[in-house]
Amino acid sequence: MTDIEMRQEDHFDHRSPPSGPAGPGAPRVTLKEIAAHAGVSRSTVSLVMQESPLVAETTRTRVQASAQALGYVYNRGAAMLRSARTATVGVVVHDIANPFFGAMVAGIDDVLQAAGYVPFLANSGDSPARQERFLTRMREQHVDALLLCPAEETPPALIDTLATWQLPCIQLMRHLGETPQGDYVGADIRQGVHDAVAHLVSLGHRHITLLAGDSDHSADRERLDGYRQAMQAAGLEVESRVLRGELTRGAGLQRTLALLDEAAAPTALICHNDLVALGAILALQRRGLRPGLDCAVVGIDDIDEAALTHPALTSVATHPEAIGRAAAELALARIADPQGAPARIVLPATLEIRDTTSTSPRREQESS
């Protein structure tokens, strides 16, 4: 369905300048030159470049040969000026260094490349100002669609702004406003956290603390809802506890250290993401406690490292690559049909049980 827009000269070779002229002041090769060389009109060459089915096979190969021979370089600027499409999709995430997003971007890349689109990646570093600059630039570049994992504190009106820009936007993992406005792809984290709590409760845990993010966006609320709901269902609401803070490994470490110093330390931790969970594990180890034995830890995302670390981390798997793929496919669909009804894709989040939730809590064991 999606038309392939790869061009022949995408496959360049590494021989020195082609047969054509390519000196220091070489005039740029244009469609006109190719047309002359191949004995056709500019229009036909243009059609060949667009992989249009209108041109005859023999003409196509002849034109492609000429383009190759002259060392032609497609001029996106000129194309962009005339046509609405650019075969480019903007991707803005808030923390590219988090392996979760690395995997997600890989999934996005795969789908887009296969469809002849190219991702234009940017890292907002969770700064709304940076994010704005990138979005503006992407609009100037006429990207066909936007995949956005919004920075914290992004004003909810951003989605409306993008709508007036007529720029299709797919929100990933986080969404602005109470319910997702417009297209959204994410994981069912509420359910995942719910399952995690239920699992901990079934092991006998009662004091379960949630290490949440320090700002109030949708991804944070989902975790909180799942947590509260499950604690309530287990009749443990009064013992529930939420700690807010930064979402890095270092912050997770510090927060957990502080937590362990308190009188009523929890027997189990559910962490906003795996980075925080890995920080928590480090904190436990520094205090001479054994994760999974002295205190259970559950992460969220199930990044590769979760299964590798020692002890292996129980985590709610959010399947970043699948989310990236789904989002990219949705973007392509939205480009094809901008007026279609907004989609909200929520992939299941499954609890991967490993060593950090292997046994019942100590206190329970002692009392039994």
Size of the site for DNA (CB under 7 A): 29
Shortest reach from residue 29's CB to DNA, in Å: 7
Q: Give yes or no for residue 4 binding DNA (CB under 7 A).
A: no
Residue (120 or 184) nearer to its own copies, CB: 120
Shortest reach from residue 144's CB to its own copies, in Å: 13
Q: Give yes or no for residue 17 binding its own copies (CB under 8 A).
A: yes
Q: Which of 1, 56, 238, 263 is close enough to bind DNA by CB under 7 A?
A: 56
In the window 308-327, what residues touch its own copies (CB under 8 A)?
308-310
Q: Give yes or no for residue 258 binding its own copies (CB under 8 A).
A: no
- Both tokens of 95, joined, read 């923390």
Q: Which of 4, 22, 26, 54 is close enough to bind DNA by CB under 7 A?
A: 54
- Strands 88-93 and 145-148 come out as parallel
Backbone region of residue 173 per phi and psi (left: phi > 0; alpha: psi in -120 to 50; beta: other values): left
In the window 101-140, what residues touch DNA (CB under 7 A)?
none
Cα Dmax for the chain: 91
Residue (1 or 84) nearer to DNA, CB: 84
Specify whether the CB–CB gap between 108 and 77 falls below 8 A.
Answer: no
Buried b / exposed e across 151-176, counting CB within 10 Å, b at 16+? Answer: bbebeeebbeebeeeebbbbbbbbbb
Q: What whole-number distance in Å separates Cα of residue 217 and Cα of residue 50?
A: 42
Q: Give yes or no for residue 55 binding DNA (CB under 7 A).
A: yes
Q: How many helices (H) and strands (E) does the chain have?
A: 14, 12
Q: What is the pattern of x (binds DNA, CB under 7 A) and - over residues 26-45?
A: -xx-xxx-------xxxxx-
Q: Give yes or no for residue 155 binding its own copies (CB under 8 A).
A: yes
Residue (46 or 127) nearer to DNA, CB: 46
Residue 302: DSSP 8-state: -
Q: Give yes or no for residue 47 binding DNA (CB under 7 A).
A: yes
Q: Give yes or no for residue 260 binding its own copies (CB under 8 A).
A: no
- Both tokens of 342, joined, read 């907004």
